[in-house]
Structures are given as structure tokens and as C-alpha cells.
Amino acid sequence: MARFPMKMACTFLALLGLLTAGAAPATAAPPPRSPEPVGNDVSWPQCGKTLPTGQAFAIVGVTGGLANNTNPCLAEQLAWAAGSTGGTAQPKVALYVNTANPGHAGTWWPTSNSYAGQQVTNPYGSCGGAVDAACSYMYGYAKAYDDATIRGVSNPGSYFWWLDVETGNSWQANTALNRADLEGMVAYFKSITSGVSGAGVGIYSTGYQWGTIAGTVPSSSSLTGLPSWLAGAKTLRGAMSNCSLPGLTTGSRVSVTQYVSAGLDYDYSCP
């Protein structure tokens, strides 16, 4: 995952998110495994590279750095992830997807409450093509639908899906529109994972990035209380300490924390 650029104007963020997919991590060999059971998250930057072994759990990126493309190594990385050893509170294999709200700067923007032949119940009213809450909700719903149906994920309702929310992708200056977009994604993922053990949806970010993008999340939002996966640590000890930080929304539990070692992302399952 790309990490923690500073906040910029909405237009620049939209262009940046559409034109770049972030820098690939370093190519150093994986370090020895920690005695603590830890997992790894991987995606397109690890294509063709040696992946860690002995991971307790794996979180695989479905998208390829943007909200509207696909990780070209998804099948191979899912096969690698299936070898996770378990032993933590996390599912052995989970997924994450890039998120964005590009508005009219994107390659596609909704003009109705219908997508893929389905009429979507929209809490913000009717989408008519404007960059407003109703169309932002539809954009998020559509991206989640695509993630689950066209990117090569078999049985998508059996997975836990993490929404990767970072300032390096395209966002609106109005945080209410970004919340609506993410709520649309949550609505779709909840619709396919409801009642399935170990499946669901949560949020990956840092406190700073989340506040920049989503602002203050009201208690009525479907984002409230979702599990949090916190980035930002540089060591396992730091990741373990970050388990005591507040979640990204009111009532949210920090479920996973991430740290970086030798150019790879490692993840700790909070007790």
C-alpha cells in the first residue's frame, strides 16, 4: 500500500489518484519470521517477487492501486495466501480494495440509482449525475460490486473485505461526499457477507488520513463501529502498541495493526 502523503487540493488528488498507483516497495528478501504470529498483506507491488513464508494470515489486495483496476497477480497471491498457518483471531485469508471518490475526474461516474441491472436503495435519494451524496454513494456501491464480481474473486461473500482509505487516491474536498462513497461500498459488501462466519467489512487507514478524507463520522453512518486496521508502525513492538489506539470511528475496535520490515507489510492481530 502507498503510505501517508500529505493532504492536497481535491483536484490534484483526483489527478494523482487516476494517473499513479503509488511506489512499489523495496525488493529486499523477507526477514526471518517473528516469534509472534504475524500476517502479511500483499498486492500488485509484489508481483513476480518472493513472498514471505509461514505467515499466520494474509490480506490480499484485489485492486491494482486504484479503485477501478485489478491486481494482475491476484490469482497467484490468493494461492499463496491459502497456505497461511492460522492461530490468530483473523481469517487465514482476507482481502483489501483501494477506495476513491473522483467525481467527474474519473473514467466513470453514475447517473442513476441503477447498476449492473440492479436498482439500489440509496439513503441519499436519487443520483442524477451530479457530484453529490447520492451519486457518491452509487459510485462506492458500484466499485464494491466490481471488486466482488469482475476481478477474479471466487465466492466473494466468504471473505472479510478491508477498505483501503488513503490520501494518495482521488477524493472530494467535502468529506460528507467521501463518507457517502464509503457507505455505498459498505452496503454492498455487507449485503454479500451478512451471516457468514469470519466475513464482513472494515477500514484500513491512519487516524490522520481517515480524518482528512472522512471527517467526523456521525453515529448514524454505517461506517460507525466497523473494525479498524491501523497503519503507521515501523516495528512489531510499535504495531502491538497501536492496538491500544482508538479505532477509526466511534465504537470501532482496532482489530489489526500494520508495520513495515525490509519493504514488506506485516500485520499483527490485536488481542
pLDDT in tens, 154-201: 999 999 999 999 999 999 999 999 999 999 999 999 999 999 999 999
| Residue 55 forms part of a structural domain | yes
> For the chain, how long is the longest CA-to-CA vector?
54
Residue-level pLDDT at 7 = 36
Residue 248: closest CA among 231, 267, 234 = 231
Dump the DSSP string for 67-126. TTS--TTHHHHHHHHTT----SSS-SEEEEEE----GGGSS----SSEETTEEPP-TT--
| Residue 3 forms part of a structural domain | no
Residue-level pLDDT at 234 = 97
Q: How many helices (H) and strands (E) does the chain have?
A: 6, 10
Residue with cell 436503495: 121
Percent of the chain with pLDDT over 70: 87
Q: What's the total number of domains in the chain?
A: 1
Residue with cell 463520522: 217
Domain residues for 138?
Answer: 10-22+39-269
What average pLDDT does this structure show over 235-262? Answer: 98
CA-based radius of gyration for the chain: 17
What average pLDDT does this structure show over 3-30? Answer: 40
| Residue 119 forms part of a structural domain | yes
| Residue 30 forms part of a structural domain | no
* Close Cβ partners of 40 (under 8 Å, ≥ 6 residues apart): 51, 52, 55, 58, 59, 264, 265, 266, 267
Residue 269: closest CA among 236, 246, 247 = 236
Task: Calculate the CA 114 to chain-centre distance.
Answer: 24
Q: Which three cell numbers stand for residue 78?
A: 490468493
Q: Is the pTM of this model over 0.95?
A: no
| Residue 32 forms part of a structural domain | no
Give tens-digit pLDDT for 118-158.
999 999 999 999 999 999 999 999 999 999 999 999 999 99
| Residue 221 forms part of a structural domain | yes
Residue-level pLDDT at 43 = 99
What average pLDDT does this structure show over 74-99? Answer: 98
What average pLDDT does this structure show over 205-221? Answer: 98
What average pLDDT does this structure show over 212-217? Answer: 98
- pLDDT bin (cut points 50, 70, 90) of residue 33 is low
Contact 267, 39 (CB under 8 A): yes
CA distances from 8 to 5, 24, 30, 164, 176 (A): 9, 21, 34, 18, 17
Cα 86 to Cα 90: distance, rounded to the nearest angstrom? 8
Give tens-digit pLDDT for 233-242.
999 999 999 9
Residue-level pLDDT at 36 = 82
Cα 160 to Cα 118: distance, rounded to the nearest angstrom? 23
| Residue 256 forms part of a structural domain | yes
| Residue 4 forms part of a structural domain | no
CATH of the domain at 237: 3.20.20.80
Strands 264-269 and 58-61: unpaired
Q: Which DSSP helix (H) or strand (E) runs through 269?
A: strand 264-269
* Close Cβ partners of 94 (under 8 Å, ≥ 6 residues apart): 57, 58, 59, 60, 159, 160, 161, 162
